[in-house]
Amino acid sequence: MILTVDDLTVAYGSVVAVRNLSFGAEEGKILSLLGPNGAGKTTTLMAIMGMIPIASGAVRLQSRSIAGARTEDTVRAGMTLTPEGRQIFASLTVAENLILGEAGLSGRDGGRWTRKEVLRTFPILSERLNQDAGTLSGGEQQQLAIARSLLSNPKVLLLDEPSLGLAPQVVDLIFSLIVQLCEHGITVVLVEQNAMRSLEIAHHSVVLSAGRKVFDGSASALRSSDDLMKAYLAIQPAGRSPETQGG
């Protein structure tokens, strides 16, 4: 396992959002982290990135303990989060947003994901380099957000709701890009409200409900369990359309 989370508990004051969560992400694979609204998915991603404190538990990236590490050190160690809502700088150009993605990483060994390589993977960004990021479409902004994350050359990329609010054909593009990243050897932890689509590309899945793990197994096993799909992802056996919302 390239990323191991062991007995993680995270609380906001007296509200325990994630309780005794353990899971592992296998190198070069896609892990789909699912669950209804408020299940604790975003909290999990932020806690393992060191963006919010953890109450207890261990997090290891390539066997190295990163629990409690500063986010920038975790990024340097090889794990990056593309947050929900993209959080690009709207009033800066695409090029400036990419430069910020590279900032602070000087001194790190060069990796595959140079700006040139990123622009090759996301060609639309090449055409938009001098445009303010705020003028991009939702799908283009999401590509910019992922591109910026890639510039830190992550071994593990955490993606929080990358398809949120995008038109169906743009969702297709984003999902195919995620598969491409995986083919380049990047381990992806994918939080998605579009549970069915996510399970189509994922190898493994972990399902949370009210902060606790209720499933940990292959994506195909989850897809074929009508009971789990219905109970935790609100997907009826007869209604398994790609548009079904999964939390």
Ligand X SMILES: Nc1ncnc2c1ncn2[C@@H]1O[C@H](COP(=O)(O)OP(=O)(O)OP(=O)(O)O)[C@@H](O)[C@H]1O
Residues that bind ligand X (CB under 6 A): 12, 15, 17, 35, 37-43, 247
Residue 68 CA to residue 47 CA, distance in Å, equals: 9
Nearer to ligand X by Cβ, of 35 and 101: the residue is: 35
Nearer to ligand X by Cβ, of 33 and 150: the residue is: 33
Q: How far is the CB of 124 from ligand X (least distance, A)?
A: 27
In the sheet with 64-65, reading across from the earlier edge strand, the strands are 15-25, 3-12, 56-61, 64-65
Q: How far is the CB of 60 from ligand X (least distance, A)?
A: 21
- Which candidate, 58, 81, 69, places its Cα nearest to that of 9? 58
Q: How far is the CB of 23 from ligand X (least distance, A)?
A: 14
Nearer to ligand X by Cβ, of 43 and 205: the residue is: 43
Nearer to ligand X by Cβ, of 15 and 238: the residue is: 15
CA atoms within 13 A on the CB side of 21: 34
Q: How far is the CB of 74 from ligand X (least distance, A)?
A: 18
| H-only helix segments in the chain | 41-48, 71-77, 94-102, 115-121, 123-127, 138-150, 168-183, 195-201, 219-223, 226-233
